[in-house]
């Protein structure tokens, strides 16, 4: 394992963390009344767009899982359309799962769907950028000892941290504290965001500390 590759991963992850911070700070500088709590749905959209855009750019620049095979333009268009369909299906699936876990079915549909989009941005979009619309590759990566590179190990960690963060974020909602951040889905989306940011920082550090034990095999 090359130290330069770990440093590249750390730099890319820190850029993603920085983009989330900017999504909360920059709009407030020129938009009166903008706050993460007060205009939460707007922030969800801005954060999702910022993280998505940066992840796509980083994938195109760093090319962590570049295939040696050259593909035609038609194949690239087909792959892009499949990725869009998979991402939309992920949003619908997350929306359904969130409702099954107790979110309002009819009320707050917009809030629930935008939260699902945020979760898809933190999880599914990364899989699409790294592995493409290949379900078998996704299953391989998230199986035991399935990662074949530090980028895939980072994908595992950030995805799990995002979902766990969203789950832990639901705990304060039923409490009678009457705080503004207890309104659906603020605590869950913040939990997912903090979980994602924690995963981005933890992943390269964990890989660096365990670099002697990690052995990746091509599959």
pLDDT digits (tens, 9 = 90+) for 76-93: 889 899 999 999 999 999
Instruction: Report the C-alpha gap between 62 and 60 in whole angstroms.
Output: 6
Residue 65 has pLDDT above 70, yes or no: no
What pLDDT is attached to residue 67?
A: 57
**What is the domain partition of the chain in residue ranges?**
3-62+74-218
What pLDDT is attached to residue 200?
A: 96
pLDDT digits (tens, 9 = 90+) for 10-31: 999 999 999 999 999 999 888 8
Share of the chain above pLDDT 70, in %: 93
Note the Cα 109 to chain centre separation in Å.
Answer: 21
Instruction: Report the C-alpha gap between 72 and 92 in whole angstroms.
Output: 31
Sign (positive/negative) of CA torsion 15, 17, 21, 23?
positive
């Amino acid at each position: 394992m090359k130290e330069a590759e770990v440093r590249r991963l750390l730099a890319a992850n820190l850029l993603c963390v920085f983009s989330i911070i900017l999504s909360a700070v920059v709009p407030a500088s020129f938009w009166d009344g903008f706050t993460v709590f007060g205009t939460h749905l707007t922030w969800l959209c801005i954060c999702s767009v910022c993280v998505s855009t940066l992840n796509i750019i980083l994938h195109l620049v760093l090319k962590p899982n570049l295939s040696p095979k050259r593909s035609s333009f038609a194949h690239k268009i087909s792959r892009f359309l499949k990725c869009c369909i998979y991402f939309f299906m992920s949003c619908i699936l997350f929306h359904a799962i969130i409702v099954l876990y107790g979110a309002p079915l009819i009320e707050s549909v917009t809030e629930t769907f935008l939260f699902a989009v945020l979760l898809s941005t933190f999880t599914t979009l990364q899989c699409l950028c790294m592995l493409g619309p290949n379900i078998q590759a996704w299953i391989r990566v998230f199986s035991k000892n399935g990662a074949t590179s530090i980028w895939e190990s980072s994908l595992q960690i950030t995805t799990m941290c995002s979902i766990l963060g969203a789950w832990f974020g639901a705990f304060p909602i039923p409490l009678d504290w009457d705080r503004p951040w207890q309104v659906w889905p603020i605590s869950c989306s913040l939990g997912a965001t903090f979980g994602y940011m924690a995963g981005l920082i933890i992943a390269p550090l964990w890989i660096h500390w365990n670099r002697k034990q990690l052995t990746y095999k091509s599959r």
